[in-house]
Structure 1
Amino acid sequence: MRERLGGGLTPLQILLAILCLKVSYCSSILGDEHNALVSIERSAVTPDISPSAEPQPFLPSLAPSPLMPFTNATVPKLSGLCSLNFSAAQSIMSMTATDCWASFAPYLANVVCCPQFDATLVILMGQSSKNSGMLALNATHSNHCLSDVITILEAQGANGTLQSICSVSPANLTAASCPIIDVNEFESSVDTSRLLTACEKINPVKECCDQTCQNAILDVAQKLSLNGMSSSDGIPISAEHSNSVDDCKNIVLRWLASKLDPSSANSVLRGLSNCNTNKVCPLKFPNITTLSKECEGLINNQTDCCEAMESYVSHLQEQSFLTNLQALNCAVYLGMKLQQANVSKNLYNLCQINLKDFSLQALSQESGCLLPSQPSDATFDQMSGISFMCDLNDNIAAPWPSSTSIVPLPSCNKTSKIPALPKASSAHCGACIEKLLVMLLFATSLFLKMPP
């Protein structure tokens, strides 16, 4: 879809070029002059499958740069002023460091990295409350603890700017406006048995539609925010009280994390976050004026219109990896914006725009990476580096919106007209990257430090 390489590659393009190693259909993407520069070794390792066989998902892989080891040899220097029990969530923190690996964190942020980082903070707070009896830190303590958490993660290969990438501040570890943070007071104020029954184990698919655990959390958070006051006076809920409910939800999650083992708590928290992640389109859309002028009304020149459409979508592709449901939401949102700008023709059909065209691309439309709605964590291997599962094979046409289009959680509405979604990735990969050349990694590490 994109023919914008010009005289050189951007840092992001070089980074994503690594994903094409040893994948047969990537062999002609870069051109001879770039092949000579980075000496990419390519070979067809895609297994022989018949045309009727179901294509398998792809497992992209990135090895850490030799200039930046995945795990530092030195012990991270901590403040010594944080009482959080880091050892209780050691495995979860390692998972977070992998999900938020330095170079890829900004591009996996909204789907994998930040949800896992948030879950880690909740689990650390919950596990530590077993000894402290408190579900929140004061302002001073929270500063030291957040700094220590990021220092530990960075020492294991995570991006050092997670606070900025995930919009997290020390205030995220405090009580904020929730009036109850004492564990004993919490347990005497609400029906903890009902809460635990609803949330100790969730079905990540059914939960997003039925909201059993989410409703239980909301009910407890509302009771905590009232702190013994009656809500039956008929007084409208103020913005201040609404904020308090949101802050108390965090307290509820920390309490849940104290009652579950870290691995189980992580599964629940990630399942809940996926429900919110898949409701929205996280992309920032550029102004559509130029696009709408080329494509409005009867469309005078189809070629110019589709070139404008492809140019517009190429800007979207530089932002983030998306899940299939996020891509669906993005497609409907952009279609609605175009319809409001007097574009009546189905541009997705006209210009062959697929759902995966909204997600980050590996230099070519054929390498569009679309994550499943329940994205798996990234993994680290000494030989193959950082890997995560995505689907390059499902060329599902993007849906042009109609009056029946429903953006939030379309899979929960059985009557809504939506296209078949890409299947969830299986445990098998159609093409796995075994090894990356040091020469390419060296070049990548240098270019990533250069301004775009």
Structure 2
Amino acid sequence: MNEGVSLKLSSLTMVLLMVFLLLLCLHECGCNPVYNLKGSVLTTRRESAFLPEIPPSVAPQPFLPFLAPSPLAPFTNSTVPKLSGHCMINFTAAQSLMSMTSIDCYAYFAPLLANVVCCPQLEATLLILIGQTSKETDVLALNGTHAESCLSDIEQILLGQGAAADLKQICSIHPSNLTEASCPVKDVNEFESSVDTSKLLVACEKIDPVKECCDQTCQNAILEAATTIAMKVSEPLNMDGSNGLHEHSFRINDCKSIVLRWLASKLDPSRAKEVLRGLSNCNVNKVCPLAFPNTKHVAKSCGNGISNRTACCNAMESYVLHLQKQTLITNLQALDCAALLGMKLQKSNITTDVYKLCHLTLKDFSLQAAGYQESGCLLPSLPSDATFDKSTGISFICDLNDNIPAPWPSSSQLPASSCNKTIRIPALPAAASAQIGLYNKDLKFYQLFASSVILMMLV
């Protein structure tokens, strides 16, 4: 018994000694991550007290990498998946696409990157896999049995490469997403005889991910093609009632998947991925993915005129804290979220611009590092992927420097479209991510940020 206690104490002593030596080393070399983090937070807070109005022409600071903890065993020692043997998809031909998807949907970060990175990439992968397979099968959809087997195989392959085990739940993917669903056309020949394919290909073979979201050249071509094949039902729809209109709308939406798969069959997989991710991002940036709690506590301190600024800002800080534990969002999503919350607060009789009063910025709406207020991460509005490096692990582009003030909406104003935002946020970083060497002194800070996010997920 005494020997067991002695052994435990000895082990604990060794661990404490190692931690002490490590901290001493970090202190001597001037790279203590906690010290750097504290200094960074204090500096930012002092600046935020006198936060200037940033004109639309000013670009935010460079985007910096967001690192996952290592080692990342699945990516260096992937397991061989057990496939069903009932799926006709040629996964070898799309090996690089599958690898990219597994990195984008890495187990730790899949729930945090789901809305912006992981799920759009997974959905694009499914469209491309079926589209490329149609070149051999002449069919742009799988039947129910094959869909279930193929989805299971895809899940096993991604899981073996380090992706999250519950991707179907995270991204709401079902076997029906691989079938034709309610669309009456799935045969390639029938599709090409019904649709102006040359017009569709010209509109969508290459898109500008910024202009497309506003001009909708490709999106309109897809809608036209989907509407055309949706009308090829054996029994005409009753368009008079609301049920008929809803059914027609769902059918057009299902037919859009058929159109996208056909496009994916005509494009190189890498080009198809760019197009599909660009199209999905148009929808991603239109919606605020945050859930807003009840604002009654904020209204109590900030409503009907503000008599106590400190109490109001404390209430706002407490409220925003709930938003900062949810997910990573893009800078354009942050604008929408700020507008939606602003209108919600206005309905609670808060007429003062509490964003300006309490110095709230756009990054305050995104996920924060646990326990630190000035480390919000905004993802870029353009499609982006995570990257894997054997030495640094998983990283993704993230803006930790931008302090654009959250805009307070005018009374009863709907969130502005991303095409006519009053505050312009560049879609691309101000500096290339390849310039990571410029920020080596802060590397520990971002590792600490990543670790704290994972701790938040486990709590």
Output the amino acid matched with 1:336.
M
- Map of 2:80 onto structure 1: 75
Contact 1:369 1:390 in 2 (8 A): yes
Contact 2:239 2:245 in 1 (8 A): no
Cα distance change on mapping 1:90 and 1:64 into 2, 3 Å:
same
Shift of 1:293: 1.1
Shift of 1:90: 1.1
- Structure 2 CA distance, aligned partners of 1:208 and 1:53? 21
- Map of 1:199 onto structure 2: 204
Cα distance change on mapping 1:197 and 1:230 into 2, 3 Å:
farther
- Map of 1:59 onto structure 2: 65
- Map of 1:421 onto structure 2: 425
5+ residue gaps, structure 1: 1-19, 31-51
- Map of 1:369 onto structure 2: 377
Shift of 1:385: 0.4
- Structure 1 CA distance, aligned partners of 2:270 and 2:121? 12
Shift of 1:390: 1.2
* 1:255 lines up with 2:259 in the alignment: no
Contact 1:195 1:213 in 2 (8 A): yes
Output the amino acid matched with 1:301.
N
Shift of 1:230: 11
Listed one character per residue, the Cα deviations across residues 104-162 of structure 1 (whole Å, up to 9, x for unaligned) are 01001000000000000000010011111111111111111101101101111110100
Cα distance change on mapping 1:55 and 1:275 into 2, 3 Å:
closer
- Map of 1:149 onto structure 2: 154
How many pairs were matched up?
A: 405
- Map of 1:378 onto structure 2: 386
* 1:189 lines up with 2:184 in the alignment: no
Secondary structure at 2:252's aligned position in 1?
Answer: helix
5+ residue gaps, structure 2: 1-30, 42-57
- Structure 2 CA distance, aligned partners of 1:112 and 1:434? 25
- Structure 1 CA distance, aligned partners of 2:227 and 2:346? 40
Shift of 1:64: 3.7
Computing the radius of gyration over CA atoms, which structure comes out larger, 1 or 2? 2
Cα RMSD for the two superposed structures? 3.1
TM-score (norm 2): 0.81
- Map of 1:341 onto structure 2: 348
Shift of 1:444: 8.5
Cα distance change on mapping 1:24 and 1:373 into 2, 3 Å:
farther
- Structure 2 CA distance, aligned partners of 1:433 and 1:175? 52
- Structure 2 CA distance, aligned partners of 1:422 and 1:203? 14
Output the amino acid matched with 2:425.
L
- Structure 2 CA distance, aligned partners of 1:395 and 1:444? 22
Secondary structure at 1:389's aligned position in 2?
Answer: strand
- Structure 2 CA distance, aligned partners of 1:446 and 1:422? 29
Secondary structure at 1:431's aligned position in 2?
Answer: helix
Shift of 1:265: 0.2
Contact 1:93 1:153 in 2 (8 A): yes
Cα distance change on mapping 1:391 and 1:169 into 2, 3 Å:
same
Contact 1:71 1:157 in 2 (8 A): no
- Map of 1:94 onto structure 2: 99
- Map of 1:325 onto structure 2: 332
- Map of 2:20 onto structure 1: none
- Map of 1:311 onto structure 2: 318
- Map of 1:8 onto structure 2: none
Match for 1:26 among 37, 40, 56?
37
- Structure 2 CA distance, aligned partners of 1:269 and 1:432? 35
- Structure 2 CA distance, aligned partners of 1:306 and 1:440? 27
- Map of 1:391 onto structure 2: 399
- Structure 1 CA distance, aligned partners of 2:301 and 2:67? 39
- Structure 2 CA distance, aligned partners of 1:259 and 1:167? 27
* 1:299 lines up with 2:306 in the alignment: yes
Secondary structure at 1:419's aligned position in 2?
Answer: coil
Cα distance change on mapping 1:161 and 1:433 into 2, 3 Å:
farther
Contact 1:65 1:445 in 2 (8 A): no
Output the amino acid matched with 1:170.
P
Secondary structure at 2:134's aligned position in 1?
Answer: helix
TM-score (norm 1): 0.82
Match for 2:142 among 120, 131, 137?
137
% identical equivalent positions = 57
- Structure 2 CA distance, aligned partners of 1:330 and 1:445? 21
Q: Point out the structure with the larger helix share.
A: 2
Shift of 1:403: 4.7
Output the amino acid matched with 2:166.
T
Listed one character per residue, the Cα deviations across residues 68-109 of structure 1 (whole Å, up to 9, x for unaligned) are 533444311111111111122111111111111000010010
